A and B are shown apart, each in its own frame.
Chain A
Amino acid sequence: MLPLILRGLTKSYGGARVVDGLDLELEPGRCHGLLGPNGAGKTTTLRLALGLIGADAGSVDLLGYPMPAQAALARRKVGVVPQIDSLDPDFTVRENLLTYGRYFGMKGREIEARIPYLLEFSGLAGKADAPINNLSGGMKRRLTLARALVNDPDLIFLDEPTTGLDPQARHLIWQGLRRLIGQGRTLLLTTHFMDEAERLCDVISVLDQGRVIVRGSPRELIRQHIEPHVVEIFGDGLSEWQTCASTFCRRCETAGETLFCYTDAPEKVVEELENHPGLRYLHRPANLEDVFLKLTGRDLRD
């Protein structure tokens, strides 16, 4: 059974189609990334999938249940890590987990039995009785993740789980997410960090203007949509060099003071650039961010 099937999903707000005929299927036991610029419809898609809001058209099937009609049943086996922190500030770590478990109809004893595992999982062992306000940002995020696991979910929604965290804290979250994937759970992750998606996701769907514009593994997407090498060029004399760029680069893009040169043969570009001492450059393999920017453009979407 597929944990989530979205078909022809459409949702408008005040005449604007935020989600526009979106199709998405999640395969069990894999990590799925949902990428897209601001306003692409990621959060609305998550809310529709959870049955928090109803679609104008199309269907949502969550863990075999039609949504939003049977949302309460489906959500018994779903975990959610929301974008905005919503831990109970008046409770300790343990009390947060206990209280949240009760929303799933779990018995106190049942939740208590699960708490040591959840604390170990989130690296919060020994913090059971700590008040929430004593936790760092990274600890709060990890507790939010642990809270989403209290009901032993099959499918976990994560809405920008590492936004605002320092690198150490992000790596800890990633370790946790890898463990969850290893346990056979299905993850649906939205993020603005392409490296995060590239590291964690088996399948990525890029959303723009309310629909999925491409889907594939990070490697597939990079291979299919972008030249393998990028040379970022900046510094004095860029505008003169720009005229001859097309002879060396398959495709060029300018963003501010930087020229992005996409190419199969970076050696030639680099060799040529060595003749221009005023120019500085950075040569690197193409990554998911390049794909993302190519597909969704460089314009701000606020």
Chain B
Amino acid sequence: MIDLNWYPVWRRNFLVWKKLAGPSLLGNLADPMLYMLGLGYGLGGLLQSVDGVPYLNFLAAGTLAYSVMNSATFETLYSAFSRMHVQKTWEAILNTPLTLRDVLLGELFWATSKSLLSAVAIMLVIWTLGLYDNFGMTLALLPVALLTGFCFAGMGLAINAVSPNYDFFLYYFTLAITPMILLGGVFYPPSALPVWLADIAAWLPLTHAIELARPLVLGRIPSDMALHGLALIVYGLIGFSAALALTKRRLLK
């Protein structure tokens, strides 16, 4: 794991991204910001406060986590699939001394990097609008975004490995991503859910990410920090291991 063989793969993706950075940034960042501001001001105007803070402040951490998740997921599904299946970029790389593990690590770290960028954009909004309590604590959102990006990149690569076409990703969005957005605590505290549903939601990766991010925005130290962090790492590692085995079966059989 320590070697840097994956770096040329990461760099390739970075160089392509750099060429198209304008539209890519807009697509990745404008969307969550509009959600946050629209819902935050719109719904927030109707609510006194949520969990003792203005709704926009409450929504900020959820938006950050959701944006990180989306970023890593889109990169490892649609973009990675284009490289793997349509452009045959991975196959070209596999003819060089690099291995499939190097390719997938490059993709994993690249998707994680992109999700970090999404986090930074949301953090800029949080800072600009003063939606935080303690500036120092908001800096800890970076490692949270890193873990969250890693988690969803690992899982996304596993889905990518078994996907016959782009349409297949809709299953993942409908069955995993959308439920997480709606149940993971982006828009309201999990305590608002009936107990049985909250118990299920507690297992979702996005819930763990929000359990870490929200207190940090609101100036509190997250409870069960190690548990949530570990959960994100474990989900990510399971995803990545599955991705490695399944992609090997797909490309190198």
Contact = CB atoms under 8 A, between A and B. Distances in A.
Interface string B90-102: 0111111111000
Contacts of B15: 91, 95, 99
B33 to A, nearest CB: 26
A179 to B, nearest CB: 21
Contacts of A76: 97
A85 B88 contact: yes
B200 interface: no
B89 A73 contact: no
A131 to B, nearest CB: 10
Interface string B60-102: 0000000000000000000000000001110111111111000
A75 B95 contact: yes
A151 B95 CA distance: 12
Interface string A50-86: 1011000000000000000001110110101010111
Contacts of B96: 75, 100, 103-104, 151
Given A99-B8, A102-B8, A88 B16 contact: yes
A300 B160 CA distance: 35
B252 A99 contact: no
A82 B88 contact: yes
A54 to B, nearest CB: 9
Contacts of B91: 82, 84, 86
Interface residues of B, number: 22
A88 B99 contact: no
Contact of A89 (B8, B9, B87): B87
A19 to B, nearest CB: 13
A90 interface: yes
A80 B95 contact: yes
Contacts of A82: 88, 91-92, 95
B87 A72 contact: no
Contact of A73 (B87, B93, B94, B97): B97
B95 A88 contact: no
Contacts of B11: 99, 102
A103 B9 CA distance: 8
A274 B8 CA distance: 68
A88 B8 CA distance: 14
Interface in B123-137: none
Nearest to A11: B253
A81 B139 CA distance: 48
A84 B96 CA distance: 16
Nearest to A46: B95
Contacts of B95: 50, 52, 75, 78, 80, 82
A275 B91 CA distance: 59
B20 A90 contact: yes
A105 interface: yes
Interface in B1-29: 8-9, 11-12, 15-16, 19-20
Contacts of B94: 52
A90 B16 contact: yes
Contacts of A99: 8, 11-12, 15
Nearest to B96: A103
Contact of A86 (B19, B92, B253): B92
A52 B97 CA distance: 11
Nearest to A84: B88
Given A75-B95, A88-B12, A53 B88 contact: no
The 8 closest A-B pairs by CB, nearest first: A86-B88, A103-B96, A86-B92, A80-B95, A102-B8, A72-B97, A90-B16, A75-B97
Given A75-B95, A85-B88, A105-B8, 9 more contacts: A72-B98, A75-B96, A88-B87, A89-B87, A100-B96, A102-B8, A102-B12, A103-B96, A104-B97
